[in-house]
Every structure is written in structure tokens, then in C-alpha cells.
Chains A and B, each alone.
Chain A
Amino acid sequence: MSLLLTKHPMPEQEVTARVENFDEVTLGYTLELAKAEAERCLQCKTAPCRKGCPVEVDIPAFIKKVKAGDLDSAIAKIKEVNSLPAVCGRVCPQEEQCEKYCVLAKKGEAVGIGRLERYAADTARNKGEAITAIECSAAAQKVAIIGSGPAGLTVAGDLAKKGYKVTVFEALHLPGGVLMYGIPEFRLPKDEVVQAEINNLRKLGVEIIVNAVIGSTFTVDELMEKEGFDAVFIGTGAGLPHFMEIPGENLNGVYSANEFLTRCNLMKAYRFPQSATPIHVGKRVAVVGGGNVAMDGARTALRLGAEQVSIVYRRSEKELPARLEEVHHAKEEGIEFQLLTAPTAVLGNVDGWVIGLQCVRMELGEPDASGRRRPVEAPNSEFVLDVDTVIIAIGQGPNPLVQSTTKGLKTNKKGNIIADIDNGATSKPGVFAGGDIVTGAATVILAMGAGKKAAAAIDTYLQGKKECSL
């Protein structure tokens, strides 16, 4: 049998149709396509692909089940270690993780591991997975989880399965973290996928309390001393967006990507006025940054009716940190790329609205601390991009509320919580942390990996605590 060097493409919405709607762009494999793609896997004994996955999904084992058409076993295999496979299959940067290490990637394209994972998860969900609540005894120890992003949800799922009484506290009115407010509907459907996965956790017995800001409604110390929680996990994610610190950033028409995307995703502003939250998008939009967040901002602006959308990024295409698929989709949809370009000022009119983005061109100089060549300003290269909306997607600092109200919780210079990389332990006994609040903005699966390790450590800690009190 000759080896197919390329992945089976996944069916997608036509470009012309999809830029007019917020429905999911990729449609997922059919059973035939999934089986055919599963055929490509060589079932390597050493399974090099697994070491690229932060939670070490048993990739060859689940693919073997897909190939045999036994989807129940396939999803069971994945769920042993990954409680959000429909999410990961869609948003993991596979080319940097599992698929990077696939042996097939040496000669051609890797096995479409993410696509198969998604297929298995979607099939199980559409069929209606049977989930039985885990009974927890009256004596079960209580764990509080702060933040319902992928890190918190992973800890919640793992500990509920072990019989702990788990309560998740979420500041917003819906759980999911960035999965709800950041990543757009057209990449990750909110009701069908995110809330469905979260409902599975509820069925397991996890309690989720929304509209609860820890640090205010309760402090961490109150949770432990007054509310009877035996351990706490902090997964509060990335917080306040960075701005460029250039003139004009407070003009009307300048958004942080967080605000722009939150209005659109969490508040459903794309349905305005049926949804009450407004969003402004002009005719010509510049999105500053080159990561997933920037691509999401750009593609969202396009769908909201912008005529021309440009990504403004100070390095070259090679350094774009976004997932390959996102860059590819963005280009297909007609997003322009102003590479090696850095903004120097946002220009405004007398009424306080954006009328342009002043930029300079950059050249790549010597490598910097990150090993990437540092962009330096090209002389006399100033020019103005004719835009009326600017979306800034250059990163975020940590969410500050918990750190500033918790005694004895150590943070680093940037304000991130310091936690042990292997078990999530913080400087405060009984308090664990993981995800973006510890690492700074990273990925869904890394946050889940951190959650996984913390859940195991919390289990060990609580068993020890129980023995002491016996």
C-alpha cells in the first residue's frame, strides 16, 4: 500500500459564504474520511507523537479504534487523559505539538491527529454520551476551583471523578474562560461544543457557581477557613490587556482584542440589536499583533462587515506565533498582512475618533533573548495606514484580583502566581495554581496539562490531610 503524503482535507465552508456568518469554518471529517485518515497512522510502537502532547493522549491506541469504526472505545481512550477533546481537537497548535513529532511529518504531512480527536469527540457528543454522576460521600473533602477556563475545568473533572466534592467559582456569567469570551464561535462553537463539554462536568457532579469573584465575593482565606474547603486551585487566567503606550490609544475606535472579542463572543454583539451589547467596526481595520488572538480579532472584524482588515506585525511571516491553520484561513478570507511593520501613533479627528495608524517599517537585526531576530526600525520608513478601527492584540498581564487579596501567595515580578511546574503547589499550603495565571498567556492544552498535574497533587495532599485528621 502506498503511503499518502498529505492529510485528508477537512470539509470547510466556502470562503465567500463563511466571511458573512459566524458559523464554524471547518465542518469536521465524515466517518469515511476519518477512517481513511486513521489508515495513515503507522501505529509506531514508540509513538513519538505522544511526547508532543502535554497530556500524552495515547494517540496510536485511539486512532486504531477510529480505524476500526469503534468510536466509543476511541473517545474512552482519549478521555482517560483529556476531558475536553472536542475543544483540543479544534484549537491545539498541533503542528507545534503532537503532529510535529509524528514520523510521517519527516517525509510529508503528519497524521491529522487533531482532526481525528475532534471527530471522535463530536461523534460521541452527537450520540449523547451517557455520563453517570460520581457519588461523593458525606465525608468527601471539598475543593474550590477559581476560574472556569481549561485549567480549572480539568482540575474539576479529575477531582470529581476521584470522589471529591468540587465547586468551581467563575467571575463572569458563563463558565469556560477564554473558550467562551476569547476564541470565536466560528472556530469553537459555544453552545454545541463548549457548554456541552461543561455540562458533562456538571453531570459528573461538579458544581459551578457563576457571578462569583474570588478576592471579593469570597477571599481564598475565607474559602478555606469559613467555607470549609480543604484545598483551592487557582486558574484565573490572563487578565488585563497590554497596550502599546503610543499616542492616541484611548481614541474611540481603539479596542483591546479582549474587549472586541468579549463583546462579540460572550455578549453576542454580532447579533446586535437582538443582543443588547454594541460593537463598533469601521470600514478599514488594523489588528496589531501576530498570534491567535490577532487572527481571531481580524477574522471577527471581517465578519462584522469591515471592508478591509490588515494584520500589523513587527516581525516577518516566519515568526507569526499563530497556529498555521489560522494564518491560512485568514489569508484565504482576504486578511492583508503588513509584516515587519510597527505602529508609532494612532491618529484621531477632533471628535476623538480614529482616522489612521501611523507606522514604521522594520528590518530584522540580531537575534534577541528569545532567539528570534530582533526587529529594528528602517530609517525614514514612516507611513500612515488608512484605518478607522484599531484592535490591539499584543498580549496580556495576569488577572490581579486573587493575588492582591490572598495572604502568603507569592507572585513573580510580572504578577503571575509562582507555582511548582510539576504539581502546581504555591507558597501557600493547600493552595495550587496552574494555567495562564502561572505561565502567562499560553495554550489550552498547556493549561489543561497544568490542571492535570495539580489535580493529582491535590489528591495526594488531601489523602495526607485526611490521614492526619484520623
Chain B
Amino acid sequence: MYKILVKQQLAPSVQLFEVEAPLIAKKAKPGQFVILRVNDHGERIPLTIADFNREKGSVTLIFQEVGASTLELGRLQQGEFLLDLVGPLGKPTHIEKFGTVVCVGGGIGIAPVYPIARGLKEAGNEVISIIGARSEEILIYEEEMAAVSDQLIITTDDGSKGIKALVTQPLKELLDSDKTISLVVAIGPVIMMKFVAETTRPYGVPTVVSLNPIMVDGTGMCGGCRVSVGQENKFACVDGPEFDAHKVDFESLMARQRMYKPHEKQHSEHIAGKREEGCKCHSH
């Protein structure tokens, strides 16, 4: 059992959990993820390791409550336990001194970009970060990102903070400037990653994205997380989750992410119904 040491609300429906998991903390590297289960009938939920503390033996997870399982997760309190937690899974980000790198994080994707930006900074790179959200209210990790970046650019859709633009606008300006950009790392909604890929493609700047297809085991057994990269099937949980953005078939990934829409609705209604009945197995 894995104890929730700290619970913190970062934004409406965005939570941070610091979870006791010494074995995972010992091994975690930027870019890797865990899979957890809340309870015995629960789904296996993949979440990126947003931070880790080797001395304390803990990992930090930041998640958005988007459906029934993440809502159930969010109802756990500090001091309570996760039933299952496995990791670190996936390949770590390739970190070395590249020169000037741009880290792009969109929405909840800012959380997983953070350890990568920090790693790149520690490796001696000049780190320029662009973080974006719909509005100031749901912008997370601003201070943390500022601390590991040489320059931090903020965008919001509604202009409530930073520039009123999509992340791709300042990115394009950087690409057009006389700076030599050696690498772009982008994590966020698939549609954002797709547009980042289209933005950097004409400039030929290597671009890495972290993909989040629907997973089950996360250990390279089920084949459910397959994504098409350079016309080839790759398995995000063992071959990724990071891939060359210019080779990813984003359309097929987006279609596959929608596969269970009707089930997700049904599950949410079921959980809501249970809660009204006051069913013990779903209450904490």
C-alpha cells in the first residue's frame, strides 16, 4: 500500500499527490510514468512522475479529474493509501547538453514537462520554457517552471495571464529569431503536440513529444498502447512514451483515445449513482 503523504489542490480539478514509494523514487527519471489502482474494482491509471524525492522516498503525481477513475482518485485524502502503484515505467527522456532547448507544456502537460526541463537545465542547457493554459486559474507549476528555466513564457487562451495566444505563437517567434534551437520538447493535449510538430517541422528542429494512448498493463504485454510512428507500430509503454514528433500519426492517436467515450459516460453515471446511494465501496 502506498501512502499519500501530501495532497494539494493546484487548480480547479487538478490535484497533486506526493506518494510514499521508495523503490520507485530511487529509480525514477524524467519522462517516466507509473500505473496505479485506487481500489479493487479500479482501472489501471497511468500518470507521469512529475517529481521524485529520493531521500524522502516519494514521487509526485499531478492529475486532472477528467472521468470516473481520476475523480475517485481525487477523493482520496492525505494519509490514505493507493492500492497498487507500479513503476517507473517507460523509457526516460534522453538528456544531454544540446545547447538551447525549448520546453513546451500545455495544461496538465506542464507537470510532466517540469522534471524534463529541470534535467535539461542540470545538464547545462539554456532552457526556454513556454507554458500555456486556457486561463490563469488553471495554470499550474508556474513557479517551479520559472526556477528551472532561463526564460519562461506564459500563454493563456483568454489572455488572463501572459500573452493571449496558443503556445505555438511564441514558439514560432523563437524559431524565427537568431537563436539556434537544438531541441523542442512538448507535452500537452494531443492537438497541441500536433501543432507544435507542424510548427517546428519546416525548421527541421528535432522535436520530442510524450504520448498518452490508452494503456492497460504498461509493461509491454497487451499491445493496446500501440501508436503509429514513421508508419511503424510502436508500443508507448515500452518503446516510449516519448517519440519523434515529426513521425507520429496524431490523427490515429486522437481517434483511438476516443474509443471508450460511451463507456466513460456510463461509468461516470454509475459512480455518481453509487455515491448517491451512499455505497460503502465507493466512499472514502
Contacts and interface: CB of A to CB of B under 8 A. Distances in A.
A239 B221 contact: yes
Contact of B258 (A173, A252, A278, A400): A252
Interface in A233-250: 239-241, 243, 249-250
A275 B260 contact: no
B221 A352 contact: no
A268 B260 CA distance: 16
B20 to A, nearest CB: 14
Nearest to B268: A273
A275 B216 CA distance: 14
Contact of B222 (A210, A213, A249, A256): A256
Given A216-B89, A250-B256, A240 B44 contact: no
Nearest to B90: A216
B24 interface: yes
B272 to A, nearest CB: 11
B14 interface: no
A173 B216 contact: no
Given A240-B235, A259-B216, A275-B41, A216 B88 contact: yes
B267 interface: yes
Contact of A217 (B27, B256, B259): B27
B238 A258 contact: no
- A212, A217, A268, most chain B CB atoms within 10 A: A217
Interface residues of B, number: 45
Contact of A273 (B220, B252, B267): B267
Contact of A277 (B43, B83, B88, B233): B43
A223 interface: no
A262 B221 contact: yes
Nearest to B232: A245
A243 to B, nearest CB: 6
A401 B220 CA distance: 8
B43 A267 contact: yes
B228 A250 contact: yes
A243 B228 CA distance: 13
Contacts of B37: 173
Contacts of B269: 273
A250 B227 CA distance: 8
- A181, A212, A213, A256, most chain B CB atoms within 10 A: A213
A138 interface: no
B36 to A, nearest CB: 9
Given A240-B235, A252-B259, A267-B43, A212 B267 contact: no
Given A243-B233, A276-B43, A256 B89 contact: no
A210 B216 CA distance: 16
Contacts of A251: 255
Contacts of B41: 268, 271, 274-276
Contacts of A351: 255
A171 B266 CA distance: 30
Contacts of A212: 23, 86
B136 interface: no
Interface residues of A, number: 41
B100 to A, nearest CB: 32
A416 interface: no
B43 A258 contact: no
B84 A276 contact: no
Interface string A209-239: 0111100111000000000000000000001
A171 B219 contact: yes
A241 B219 CA distance: 12
A426 interface: no
Contacts of A171: 86, 217, 219
B19 interface: no
B223 A213 contact: no
B139 interface: no
Nearest to A352: B255
B42 interface: yes
Contacts of A277: 43-44, 216
Contacts of A51: none
A268 B271 CA distance: 17
Interface in B205-243: 216-217, 219-224, 226-228, 233, 235, 238
B86 A250 contact: no
Interface string A436-469: 0000000000000000000000000000000000
A252 B257 CA distance: 9
B68 interface: yes
A240 B256 contact: no
Interface of B, secondary structure class, is mixed
B105 interface: no
A217 B23 CA distance: 6
A218 B23 CA distance: 8
B85 interface: yes
B132 interface: no
B220 A239 contact: yes
A239 B217 CA distance: 11
Contact of A280 (B24, B42, B83, B263): B263
A401 B263 contact: no
Contacts of B220: 239-240, 399-401
A263 B223 contact: no
Contacts of A258: 221-223
Nearest to A250: B252
A249 B228 CA distance: 10
Nearest to A351: B255
Contacts of A173: 37, 44, 83-84, 86
A278 B217 CA distance: 14
A262 B217 contact: yes
A272 interface: yes
Contacts of A172: 217, 219
Contact of A259 (B86, B222, B260): B222
B24 to A, nearest CB: 7
B39 to A, nearest CB: 9
B75 interface: no
B69 interface: yes
Contact of A278 (B87, B235, B252, B267): B267
16 contacts: A171-B86, A173-B84, A210-B84, A211-B85, A217-B86, A217-B87, A217-B88, A239-B221, A250-B256, A252-B258, A258-B221, A258-B223, A262-B217, A272-B263, A277-B43, A352-B256
Question: 3 nearest interchain CB pairs?
Answer: A278-B263, A352-B255, A273-B270
Given A172-B219, A399-B221, 6 more contacts: A171-B217, A212-B86, A250-B226, A250-B256, A256-B224, A276-B267
